[in-house]
Amino acid sequence: MRRSTHTNFLASLIACLLFVTGCGGNGTDGTTDGKDQTSNNEKVLRFSAIPDQNTQHLKERFDAWAKHLSEKLGVKVEFVPSNDYAASVAAFTKGDIHLAWFGGLTGVQAVHNVPGARAIVMGEADAKFVSYFIANKSTGLTKSDTFPQAISKLKFTFGSRQSTSGRLMPQHYIETNSGKKMEEFFEQPVGFSGKHDLTLRQVRDGTYQAGVLNYSVYDKLAAEDPAILDEVPIIWVTPTYADYNFTAHPDLEKMFEKGFIDKLQKVLIETTDEKLLDAFPRKKLIKTTNEDFAGIKAVAEQLGFLK
């Protein structure tokens, strides 16, 4: 009886030791070969978008994108609103967000700040984007194929200070066509509305006599309210340039798996749901690379937007 009890005790002890050693892997802290055992379900892909329009409006639309990406990628996805353009770039630079719908300039700044960051998709329309110069109808200015030199005498507003279509490229075209620095060209101090829809509103109500904004925002708002076409006419359309894009942080490959960014790119390109695409708004997303924004980068360097 004693021998049987002793034998059973030894067998139980050996089994326990084998269980502990097997679960511990390295016999110390419960990890296996020092590798991170955190599951993808416990990691969160956080993405954001530059607030070029009403922030709450964007959140409502991009929350739907978070759900869509989560279902397609099999990971947790969360939309993180941003207060301004600079804050979006700062959050990406620090790794607080891993994917961002940037403008051309903010995308170039993000790639400049984060080695390995990649522009992965753009809207089909973003390959040949334009800005609209607009004016209050009281100015008497009408649409022309020639750059409107007369705006130099008017009270003028840009959008955000870091906007590609509302600041960077318009400033570039102003200086190229006038032969003067922006500060020398305008006779009055310029304004910065912060958002494209606000630029339109301020020119319409007379806060400013003229301004410049993203063409797609103007077209969308004018379709909803045709009176805009008469009250705030387009007076000049810029040459084309590359603009908005989704830029991915290289940390995504460490968080999930090698090749994850390519997988993400594929999911974005294959998205055809019109309601989802209207969040941008875009009809279709297409593949892009950092090289597509070489022109934006050159202008940004010339005007001192890259440090």
Tell me the sheet residues that pair with 133.
212, 236
Identify which has the larger pLDDT, 39 or 208.
208
Extended beta strands in the chain, E state: 44-49, 76-79, 99-102, 118-123, 131-135, 156-158, 191-192, 210-214, 234-237, 245-248, 285-287
CA gap 177, 34 in Å, rounded: 61
Q: What CATH number did the domain enclosing 179 receive? A: 3.40.190.10
Q: pLDDT value at position 280?
A: 86
pLDDT-based confidence at residue 51 (cuts at 50, 70, 90) = confident
> DSSP character for 164?
I
Give the end of a domain, one of 194, 214, 237.
Answer: 237
Domain that holds residue 267: 41-127+243-292
pLDDT-based confidence at residue 269 (cuts at 50, 70, 90) = very high
pTM of the model: 0.81
Q: pLDDT value at position 33?
A: 36
> Mean of the pLDDT values across residues 261-281?
95
> Mean of the pLDDT values across residues 38-49?
79
Residues 63 and 141 in one domain: no
Q: Which of 8-22, 48-62, 254-268 has the lowest mean pLDDT?
A: 8-22
Closest by CA position to 172, among listed 107, 218, 241: 241
Q: pLDDT value at position 59?
A: 78
The DSSP-derived string for 119-150 is EEEEEGGGGGB-EEEEE-GGG-----SS--GG
pLDDT-based confidence at residue 30 (cuts at 50, 70, 90) = very low
Position 45 in a domain? yes
> Mean of the pLDDT values across residues 242-253?
97
